[in-house]
Amino acid sequence: MLQITEFKSIIDLVKKFPTEQSCIDHLEAIRWNGVVISPFDEISKVYKCAGNKYKCKNTGKYFNVRTGTIFEDTKIGLQKWFMGIYLVNNHKKGISSHQLARDIEVTQKSAWFMLHRIRYAFDHENFKKTMGDVVEADETFVGGKNKNRHADKKVANSQGRSFKDKTPVLGLMQNGHVNCTVIPNTQAETIKPVIERMVKEGAILVTDDWDAYRALCPKYNHVIVDHQKGEYVRGAFHTNSIEGFWSIFKRGVYGIYHQVSRKHLHRYCVEFSYRYNTRTVNDPQRFNLCLTSIDKRLKYNDLIGK
């Protein structure tokens, strides 16, 4: 039976997982809960071998608890991985790869790769459920303001909703649950499919007065809060919750990471969404929830490739 290990600090975490074997035992309990399943053939019989290895009878292949996870093919010990997951979870605005490298004594390059793998695990199925009832929708732009740039780095015609130097992100919020999607632009033909995929038809959709949302009226009970007229609440409806999340998100991006490329922005969105969506649970629950979503690989070449 799966036992959730309790801890309250990074020191507690190290005491609970003092050895590589203790980390392996916990990971096996989280991933398999006493019934080992082959990553090569789910219905195959599995033989236990020495050195925490197993053998899949149907394929003849050997594997361990790391196989097919974010921990596969890494020489970094699980104790450091556990510390990394704990630190990313508990630094409310994130942690840079330079800081993580110093904290757990790995190279900055390794820490950078670890952080992206951890963000990959943060993309949990629990937070991809279709939304309904009352849903707030809003978009934001990630990128520095043109007026703050040096003269030789200013981008012409980048004001307003230009995407030359900024990347738009669409956010949906329901009852304190947020989901973010990086989008190429904020036009109706881009926003509409995303909302239709993630929000149940007939739900109350609360937005600002941006024209792109008006195309959604036939499928949703559309409530517009007209910010241009100084309106921020219409009856019981508002977009204050999603805008509050944007505030947290941008403070983290600009304050900790300083600059985020368009290529990797979606992973940072997942990171901040995960922390926000798990803000009401305790540290061990948030830590173990991440470990239930590790069964996917992110290879370095895929990460840095185009």
- Both 144 and 258 in one domain: the answer is yes
Pair 135, 63 in one domain: no
Structural domain count of the chain: 2
pLDDT for res 86: 95
Contact between 72 and 2 (Cβ < 8 Å): no
State whether 142 and 243 are in the same domain: yes
Same domain, 140 and 254: yes
Tell me, yes or no, whether 175 lies in a domain. Answer: yes
Furthest CA-CA distance within the chain: 70
In terms of domains, do 257 and 166 share one?
yes
pLDDT band at 302, cuts 50/70/90? confident
Mean pLDDT of 97-117: 96
Residue 2 predicted with pLDDT over 50: no
Residue 305: what pLDDT?
78
Q: In this structure, is residue 269 part of a structural domain? A: no
Q: Residue 25 and residue 16: Cα distance in Å, rounded?
A: 12
Is the pLDDT at 164 greater than 70, yes or no? no
AA letter at 133: D
DSSP sequence for 33-69:
TT----SS-TTS-EEE-STT-EEETTT--EE-TTTTS
Residue 81 placed within a domain: no
Residue-wise pLDDT tens digits, 129-144: 889 899 999 999 987 6
Domain that holds residue 187: 129-262
Per the structure block, which two tokens stand in for 170? 């669409």
Over residues 52-106, the pLDDT tens digits come to 999 999 999 999 999 999 999 899 999 999 999 999 998 989 999 999 999 999 9
The mean per-residue pLDDT over the stretch 206-213 comes to 89
Same domain for 32 and 154: no
Q: State the Cα–Cα distance between residues 110 and 100, nearest whole angstrom.
A: 10
Q: 164 vs 143, 146, 159, 186, 280, CA distance in Å?
A: 10, 11, 9, 13, 37
Q: Residues 25-39: what's their mean pLDDT?
A: 93
Single out the residue of 69, 75, 122 nearest to residue 94, CA to CA: 122
Angstrom distance (rounded) from CA 123 to CA 254: 22
**pLDDT value for 4:** 58
DSSP-derived secondary structure for 139-175: EEEES--GGGS-GGG--TT-STT--SS-EEEEEEEET
Q: Does a structural domain hold residue 116?
A: no
Domain match, 137 and 256 both: yes
Judged against a pLDDT cut of 90, whether residue 172 lies above it is answered with: yes
260, 267 contact by CB (below 8 A): no
Mean pLDDT of the chain: 89
| Residue 138 resides in a domain | yes
Q: Report which of 254, 275, 267 is spatially closest to residue 142, judged by C-alpha positions.
A: 254
Q: Which CATH number fits the domain that encloses residue 220?
A: 3.30.420.10
pLDDT in tens, 217-230: 788 899 998 888 78
| pLDDT given at position 160 | 59
